Amino acid sequence: MKQETLISNPKMGASRLNSFPDEFFVNPYPFYRELHSNGPVQRGTLIKHDGWVVTGYKEALHILKHPHFKTRMPIPKDSKDNKRLIRIQKNMMLFKNPPDHTRIRSLVSKAFTPHAIEAVRTSIEETAHQLLVRVQDAGEMEVKSDFAFPLAMATIARILGVSPQDYPQFRKRADLLIRTTDLTRTEKTLDGEAAASELLDYFRSLVKYRLHYPEDDLISKLVGEADDGDKLDEDELLATCILLIIAGHETTVNLIGNGVVSLLKNPDQLIKLKEEPSLIRSAVEECLRFESPTQLTARFAAEDTEVGGTTIKSGEQIYLLLGAANRDPMRFTDPDIFDITREPNPHLAFGTGNHFCLGSALARLEAQIAINTLLQQLPNLRLENDRLQWRRLFGFRSLEELPISFG
Ligand code: HEM
């Protein structure tokens, strides 16, 4: 297996962990711990990317909330191979700064109010129940494909106004886009450009259709907004659809998958939750902290700014390891213990500050319903094998698949 350097840091020298990338993807937490022992903010090269690597909770929180630190696109804007992907990135709120960010976010956030989320509760419950009825006689299932993906996709698709027959194509395309934007990307993982192009074509024609035949969905609402200057332009609208369909299922699928694994690997916690289903809210918060679906986010400094005694200079890049911050022993007691009653649990799995996850309430509701329905409907859940395969991604914590059996 080809070995790559995950992080090189003059102070760390030839750290043992630099040369075990395969182990890193299986279990990144010992690596994070070692990094953290060199300081919460340190200069380094993270898989060929120079910048400041942040593993401390307090420092990550400070940077995410500080106006001097700006969001930025994962693919550099001068990259020649990813023209369409760059155009999409440029128009996504995730990679925009104020004032454009504020304008786009306030238009889109109308679809994610507590009232709007509560309105989809019954359909999530019904879908979760039906998906499990389909597999319950088989005695086994693959949690991501048979349950988490169809559930999360149906939910975000219904909000956006995407038809059920189109769901399968989004999984493959989300996967390609994620591989192309992850820090682990190489020239060989540039197929995201084709996926970007197909997604643009798909949403361009759906937007056109909804302009003439509006329904009660988010795309129809965004297309029909009053022309008072606050409207999204066509590029922003297409980028928003692509962001929502991908962010709206990928990380939620991983929250459900990672959460089920954490529970199955900690049977005392599984029993506790089965006996007291009302613990599901704090259980999902602990799943978010313990195996955070989003492990990394990036920023750059717009002005020289001090963080934890270190000056980050204007223009420098910052890599915030959310998965490490969520296991920072300075903030969380026994951070490597999975405790579904942990209180307080102020994890950073959804980020914080002006880019705080817009879909957090939806993701929480889906995971709470999914996990409790699974535990209540299928008896005696077991992992099919102990050697789970994790995807070789730096920014996301995601299983290749999760086979389980029951009954
Ligand atoms: C467990 C599931 C999820 C996780 C862990 C997650 C994580 C995150 C994180 C960490 C950010 C902030 C990124 C940054 O600051 O750079 C973010 C932003 C965002 N998320 Fe999520 N997300 C999840 C589910 C969802 C869902 C279901 C949706 C949509 C329905 C969604 C839509 C968004 C959007 C639109 C943003 C950008 C917000 C902005 O730039 O203002 N996410 N998410």
The percentage of the chain sitting over the pLDDT mark of 90, rounded to a whole number, equals 79
C-alpha to C-alpha distance for 297 and 395, rounded to whole angstroms: 7
Q: Which atom of ligand 1 is nearest to the CA of 294?
A: 5
Per-chain mean pLDDT for the chain: 92
Please choose from 159, 254, 358, 365 the residue to mutate so as to test ligand 1's pocket, defined by most ligand atoms within 8 A of CB.
358
Distance from residue 211's CA to the centre of ligand 1 (Å): 27
Angstrom CA distances, 177 to 108, 186, 275, 284, 293, stand at 22, 13, 40, 27, 16
- pLDDT at 11 (0 to 100): 56
C-alpha to C-alpha distance for 123 and 154, rounded to whole angstroms: 9
Residue 170's nearest CA partner among 249, 112, 91 is 249
- pLDDT at 235 (0 to 100): 96
- pLDDT at 14 (0 to 100): 38
Distance from residue 252's CA to the centre of ligand 1 (Å): 10
Cβ(232)–Cβ(124) under 8 Å?
A: no
Q: What does the block give as tokens for 100?
A: 């454009």
Distance from residue 386's CA to the centre of ligand 1 (Å): 30
- pLDDT at 19 (0 to 100): 47
pLDDT tens by residue, 8-44: 665 554 344 444 577 899 999 999 999 999 999 999 8
Cβ(370)–Cβ(151) under 8 Å?
A: yes
The closest residue, in CA terms, to atom 16 on ligand 1 is 297
Q: Which atom of ligand 1 is nearest to the CA of 367?
A: 1
The closest residue, in CA terms, to atom 37 on ligand 1 is 94
The closest residue, in CA terms, to atom 38 on ligand 1 is 355
- What value does the mean pLDDT take over residues 210-238? 87
Residue 122 has pLDDT above 60, yes or no: yes
Considering only 71-85, 110-124, 238-252, which range has the smallest mean pLDDT? Answer: 71-85
Ordered domains of the chain (ranges, CATH): 7-405 (1.10.630.10)
Compute the residue count for the chain: 407
Residue 332 has pLDDT above 50, yes or no: yes
- What value does the mean pLDDT take over residues 317-338? 98
User: Which amino acid, 50?
Assistant: D
C-alpha to C-alpha distance for 378 and 381, rounded to whole angstroms: 7
How many separate helices (H) and strands (E) can be counted in the chain?
Answer: 17, 11
Mapping DSSP to helix (H, G, I), strand (E, B) and coil, where does residue 282 land?
Answer: helix
Relative to beta strand 296-301, strand 69-71 is antiparallel
pLDDT tens by residue, 283-314: 999 999 999 999 999 999 999 999 989 999 99
Residue 400 has pLDDT above 90, yes or no: yes
Residue 69 has pLDDT above 70, yes or no: yes
Q: Angle between the 83-91 and 167-181 helix axes, to the nearest 10 degrees?
A: 100
Q: How far is CA 243 from the centre of its chain?
A: 11
Pocket of ligand 1 (CB under 6 A): 71, 93-94, 105, 156, 243-244, 247-248, 251-252, 255, 293-294, 297, 349-351, 355, 357-359, 362-363
N-terminal to C-terminal alpha carbon distance within the chain:
39
Tally the C-alpha atoms within 13 A of residue 334's C-alpha that lie toward its C-beta. Answer: 7
Residue 355 has pLDDT above 50, yes or no: yes
The closest residue, in CA terms, to atom 6 on ligand 1 is 350
pLDDT-derived band at 3 (thresholds 50, 70, 90) equals very low
Distance from residue 63's CA to the centre of ligand 1 (Å): 17
Distance from residue 350's CA to the centre of ligand 1 (Å): 6
C-alpha to C-alpha distance for 200 and 397, rounded to whole angstroms: 27
Higher pLDDT, 15 or 157: 157
- What value does the mean pLDDT take over residues 114-123? 95
Q: Which contacts (CB < 8 Å, 24+ apart) does range 267-274 have?
A: 269/338, 269/339, 269/340, 270/375, 270/381, 272/340, 272/341, 273/340, 273/371, 273/372, 273/375, 274/375, 274/376
Q: What is the DSSP letter of 390?
A: B
The closest residue, in CA terms, to atom 36 on ligand 1 is 357
H helix intervals, 231-295: 234-247, 250-265, 267-275, 280-290
- pLDDT at 18 (0 to 100): 47
pLDDT-derived band at 54 (thresholds 50, 70, 90) equals very high
C-alpha to C-alpha distance for 183 and 239, rounded to whole angstroms: 21
Tally the C-alpha atoms within 13 A of residue 370's C-alpha that lie toward its C-beta. Answer: 28
Distance from residue 226's CA to the centre of ligand 1 (Å): 27
